[in-house]
Amino acid sequence: MKISEIYKNNKRSLSFEIFPPKKDTELASIDETLKVLCELNPDFISVTFGAGGSANSNRTIEIAKNIKHNYGIEPVVHLTSLHYDKSEIDEFATAMKEAGIENILALRGDRSPNAPEKDVFPHASDLIEYLKSKYDFCVLGACYPECHPESSDRVNDLKGLKTKVDSGAEVLVSQLFFENRIFYDFRERCRIAGIDVPVIPGIMPVINANQIKRMISLCNASFPERFCRIIRRYENNSEALFDAGMTYALTQIIDLIADGIQGIHLYTMNNPKVAKRICDGIRNIV
Ligand code: FAD
């Protein structure tokens, strides 16, 4: 099923994001996580794609295939463009078609000094245009409520996003954020710019202190004072931080649902307890 169909019936989606195990770890190590996540019956599970053209990339398709054929849940395969040429993208697309995959989250990917760029698809919109011209996938794109770190300003960021949608992105999934007001303002700017596809907020429950340090270095997200207070108080108490992080994320999610949001995309960090706790917390929230 194509993911874009979900929103045509005004249904709210719930989706999870996972990443493949590292290449020196058995692929089967993710099976238990998949089992629990699929039992929660999300509308789709997206599987990330190794940054910089890593050798881990084929695992993405293997896992997506497993999700679709063994658990009956719709997968979305992430695919990055910066380090590939057309024939390599065709290889991935063909493997996906053969695996019965219908949905791709098309990304540019992050720059890395160790991975040479091919300059064939310099932006995600170039990859999206190519995929839409040649294949029949439903294509999703990424968006950044607090601006992509390489964008000079919000206007230019939004122009890039509009090009992405005009190139064929049918659904946008957002970078994580910790303040809903930031997302609501972003969504309003999207509408003003004529971006009228579903914009799905990405939520990452913070459950350990290392994860926070990684997030600060990787993304542009700002941290509200009430969030920082929780981290300062509980960063050395893992159980308390887990509880506090989950409650913070649930409060964000319930506010988004009350606002009438079209979906929730949960960065699960391959931790089934995270997904289970969120699902328990919103079971009766309509
Ligand atoms: P783009 O849309 O190309 O944007 C990159 C920059 O170029 C932005 O500053 C943008 O404003 C500008 N821009 C965009 N289009 C144009 C245009 N046509 N003309 C001029 N400027 C333009 N990375 C991975 O390696 N693997 C993953 O699996 C992965 N999954 C992700 C999932 C989500 C939901 C998100 C939000 C990010 C994910 N990333 C992943 C990270 C992503 O690859 C990086 O954030 C990357 O730096 C940008 O990717 P993009 O697709 O948003 O790029």
pLDDT of residue 23: 85
Q: How far is the CA of 167 from the centre of ligand 1 (A)?
A: 14
Give the domain extent around 252.
Answer: 3-282
- Considering only the C-alpha atoms of the chain, give the largest distance between any 2 of them, rounded to a whole number of Å: 53
The 10s digit of each residue's pLDDT in 177-203 is 999 999 999 999 999 999 999 999 999
The 10s digit of each residue's pLDDT in 202-215 is 999 999 888 887 77
pTM of the predicted protein model: 0.97
Token look-up 């910066």 returns 82
Atom 12 of ligand 1, residue of closest alpha carbon: 160
Pocket residue to mutate for ligand 1, from 17, 47, 105, 107, most atoms within 8 A of Cβ:
107
Token look-up 């949905």 returns 103
Domain of residue 157, CATH code: 3.20.20.220
Dist CA 161 CA 121 (whole Å): 15
pLDDT of residue 8: 94
pLDDT of residue 239: 95
pLDDT-flagged residues of the chain (< 70): 51-56
pLDDT of residue 53: 58
Dist CA 72 CA 38 (whole Å): 8
pLDDT of residue 55: 56
Token look-up 């493949």 returns 20
Of 181, 167, 171, 241, nearest in space to 205 by CA:
241
Q: What angle do CA 212, 213, 215 make, to 5 degrees?
A: 65
pLDDT of residue 217: 74
Q: Are 246 and 271 in contact (CB under 8 A)?
A: no
First to last CA, the chain: 24
pLDDT of residue 74: 98
Ligand 1 first shell, C-beta below 6 A: 48-49, 51, 78, 80, 107-110, 123-125, 142, 148, 150-151, 156-157, 160, 163-164, 173, 175, 202
Q: How far is the CA of 78 from the centre of ligand 1 (A)?
A: 11
Residues annotated as catalytic (active site), given as ranges = 17
Q: Which residues contact 137 (CB under 8 A, 6 or more apart)?
A: 93, 96, 101, 102, 103, 104, 131
Q: How far is the CA of 109 from the centre of ligand 1 (A)?
A: 6
Atom 28 of ligand 1, residue of closest alpha carbon: 48
Atom 18 of ligand 1, residue of closest alpha carbon: 160
Q: Are 269 and 208 in contact (CB under 8 A)?
A: no
Quick one: which atom of ligand 1 is closest to the CA of 48?
Answer: 28
The 10s digit of each residue's pLDDT in 53-88 is 565 678 999 999 999 999 999 999 999 999 999 999
Q: Which ranges of 50-179 does DSSP label H, i.e. alpha helix?
A: 57-71, 86-98, 124-134, 154-166
How many structural domains are present in the chain? 1
Token look-up 């009438």 returns 260
